[in-house]
C-alpha cells in the first residue's frame, strides 16, 4: 500500500502539469541545450502561426539562415557573433517552404517556395546585414528567379557550391530539376516518382524524397518511388540500383527525410520510417545502421567535429527526440526530448523538429515546426578519442 502511494506520488506530478526533477532524465541534458526566440519578443518576433521552421542552412561565413512557414514565410538569420535571431522580412506571397533553403559559396541565399506555382528566390545579404533593423511586417528584398515547374512547389533543395548549381525536387509531382546560377536557367531532369504510393483512398501522395544532398563528387542525391535513390550531376539524371533500408514490404512508403555528409565522402541519411543509413556514392552501397528511436522520421542530421553524428527523430504527432551515432563504435546514444528549462526565465519543449544544421563553430541548430516555434541550440561534446572515422 505504501509503495503504491509512493509510486502514485512519483507519477502524479507530471499528470498535474508539473515538472519534477525526475522529468529532466527524459530530456536532453540541460547544460547542452538552449533556445532562441525568432526575433525580439514580445513584439518584434516572427508571429505565432508564421513561425514553423522547416529549412535551415549555414553560409560559408557561418551565418545561419532559416525560413518559416504558416500564414506567411519569413526569412531570418543568426550571426554567431551576436547569437540572436534577426528576422529579415517575409517572402511576399509565400506561405510554405519545405526543406528548400541553400546558400551559395558567395553567400547568396536561395529559397524555394513550397506553394503551388512556387518560385525560386534569391536573397543577397548586404555587407552590413547584421546592422539592419528587425523586419517582421515588411517584405524581404529578393530576386524572383521563376518557377521550376508550373503548378508545383519545391519540396527539397540543395546547392553544389563548386558548380553553383542548385538541385531541387517538386511537390506533388516529384520533378527533379537543376538551376544554373551562372546561366540563370532551370533544367528539368526527370521524375523521382511516377505513381502515388499504394494506400487508402485518401492517400494519393507520391514518395518523394524530403531532402537532397550534394556529395563531394558534386552529384546530388535523393529518393523516390519505392525508396529508390536517384542521382543528378549537371543535366544528367538517373535512378540508382540501390534503395532505402527498411522493413521488407514497406519500400513504397520510404523516403529520405534528411542527409548529412560524413568524413571521406560518405553520406549519411535518415528515412521516414526512422532508420539511419550510410551511403557510399562511389560503390553505390547502402548500410542500414538501424533505428535509433522507436519513432518514425529522422527530421535532421548533422556531423559534429567530435566525430559523432547527431539526429532528431519523431513524427508530427509524436514528441521529438535527439540521438547521436558514433561511427567509430557503431553505437547510438539516446539524448532525450528536446526541452529547454531556464526557469524562472523561460522554458519550452519542441514536439516537432522541422530542420537541423550545424554551424562552423560546431553548434547544432534545430528548427521547430509548430504553431509557435523557436530555434534550439545544441552543444555537442568535445572531440573524443575517435576522430572523424572513415567507415567505408
Residues that bind another protein (CB under 8 A): 5, 8-9, 11-23, 25-26, 42, 48-49, 294-295, 315, 317-319, 337, 343-344, 347-349, 351, 370-372
In angstroms, the Cα distances linking 185 to 86, 115, 167, 182, 371 are 31, 20, 12, 8, 36
Residues 6+ apart with CB under 8 A from 260: 213, 267, 268, 269, 301, 302, 303, 309
Q: How far apart are CA 75 and CA 1, in angstroms?
A: 57
Residue closer to another protein (CB basis): 16 or 150 = 16
Residue closer to another protein (CB basis): 164 or 315 = 315
Cβ at position 47, least distance to another protein in Å = 8
Residue closer to another protein (CB basis): 23 or 379 = 23
Residue closer to another protein (CB basis): 4 or 385 = 4
- Cβ atoms 130, 137 nearer than 8 A: no
C-alpha grid cell for residue 25? 532524465
Q: How far apart are CA 345 and CA 302, in angstroms?
A: 29
Residues 6+ apart with CB under 8 A from 248: none
Cβ at position 352, least distance to another protein in Å = 9
Cβ at position 327, least distance to another protein in Å = 27
Q: Half-sphere exposure (CA, 13 Å, Cβ side) for 177?
A: 29
In a 3-state reduction of DSSP, which class is residue 20? coil
Cβ at position 318, least distance to another protein in Å = 4
- Render 93-134 in DSSP notation, one character per residue: T-----B-EEE-TT--EEEE--STTPPEEEE---TTGGGSPP
Cβ at position 338, least distance to another protein in Å = 12
Residue closer to another protein (CB basis): 313 or 359 = 313
Cβ at position 351, least distance to another protein in Å = 5
* Total count of residues recorded for the chain: 392
Cβ at position 347, least distance to another protein in Å = 6
Residue closer to another protein (CB basis): 12 or 247 = 12
Cβ at position 248, least distance to another protein in Å = 20
Residue closer to another protein (CB basis): 87 or 215 = 87
Q: Evaluate the omega torsion of the peptide bond into residue 364 and state whether it is cis, within 30 degrees of 0.
A: no
Residue closer to another protein (CB basis): 315 or 326 = 315
Residues 6+ apart with CB under 8 A from 267: 213, 215, 221, 259, 260, 261, 278, 279, 280, 281
Amino acid at each position: 500500500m505504501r509503495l503504491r502511494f509512493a509510486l502514485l506520488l512519483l507519477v502524479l506530478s507530471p499528470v498535474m502539469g508539473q515538472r519534477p526533477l525526475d522529468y529532466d532524465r527524459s530530456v536532453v541534458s540541460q547544460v547542452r541545450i538552449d533556445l532562441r526566440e525568432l526575433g525580439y519578443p514580445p513584439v518584434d518576433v516572427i508571429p505565432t502561426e508564421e513561425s514553423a521552421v522547416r529549412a535551415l542552412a549555414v553560409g560559408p561565413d557561418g551565418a545561419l539562415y532559416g525560413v518559416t512557414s504558416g500564414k506567411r514565410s519569413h526569412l531570418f538569420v543568426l550571426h554567431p557573433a551576436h547569437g540572436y535571431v534577426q528576422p529579415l522580412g517575409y517572402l511576399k506571397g509565400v506561405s510554405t517552404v519545405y526543406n528548400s533553403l541553400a546558400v551559395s559559396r558567395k553567400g547568396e541565399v536561395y529559397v524555394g517556395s513550397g506553394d503551388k506555382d512556387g518560385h525560386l528566390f534569391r536573397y543577397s545579404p548586404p555587407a552590413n546585414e547584421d546592422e539592419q533593423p528587425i523586419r517582421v511586417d515588411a517584405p524581404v528584398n529578393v530576386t524572383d528567379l521563376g518557377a521550376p515547374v508550373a503548378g508545383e512547389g519545391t519540396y527539397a533543395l540543395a546547392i553544389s557550391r563548386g558548380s553553383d548549381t542548385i538541385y531541387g525536387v517538386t511537390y506533388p509531382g516529384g520533378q527533379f530539376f537543376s538551376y544554373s546560377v551562372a546561366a540563370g536557367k532551370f533544367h528539368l531532369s526527370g521524375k523521382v516518382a511516377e505513381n502515388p504510393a499504394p494506400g487508402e483512398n485518401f492517400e494519393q501522395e507520391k514518395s518523394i524524397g524530403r531532402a537532397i544532398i550534394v556529395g563531394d563528387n558534386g552529384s546530388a542525391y535523393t529518393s523516390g518511388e519505392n525508396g529508390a535513390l536517384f542521382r543528378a550531376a549537371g543535366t544528367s539524371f538517373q535512378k540508382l540500383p540501390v534503395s532505402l533500408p527498411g522493413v521488407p514490404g514497406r519500400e513504397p512508403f520510404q523516403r529520405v527525410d534528411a542527409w548529412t555528409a560524413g568524413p571521406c565522402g560518405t553520406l549519411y541519411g535518415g528515412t521516414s520510417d526512422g532508420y539511419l543509413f550510410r551511403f557510399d556514392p562511389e560503390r553505390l552501397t547502402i548500410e542500414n545502421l538501424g533505428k535509433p528511436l522507436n519513432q518514425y522520421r529522422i527530421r535532421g542530421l548533422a556531423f559534429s567535429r567530435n566525430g559523432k553524428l547527431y539526429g532528431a527523430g519523431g513524427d508530427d504527432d509524436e514528441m521529438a527526440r535527439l540521438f547521436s551515432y558514433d561511427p567509430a563504435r557503431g553505437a547510438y546514444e539516446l539524448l532525450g526530448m528536446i526541452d529547454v528549462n531556464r526557469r524562472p526565465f523561460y522554458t519550452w519543449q519542441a514536439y516537432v523538429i522541422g530542420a537541423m544544421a550545424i554551424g562552423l563553430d560546431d553548434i547544432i541548430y534545430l528548427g521547430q515546426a509548430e504553431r509557435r516555434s523557436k530555434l534550439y541550440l545544441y552543444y555537442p561534446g568535445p572531440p573524443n578519442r575517435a576522430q572523424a572515422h572513415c567507415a567505408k
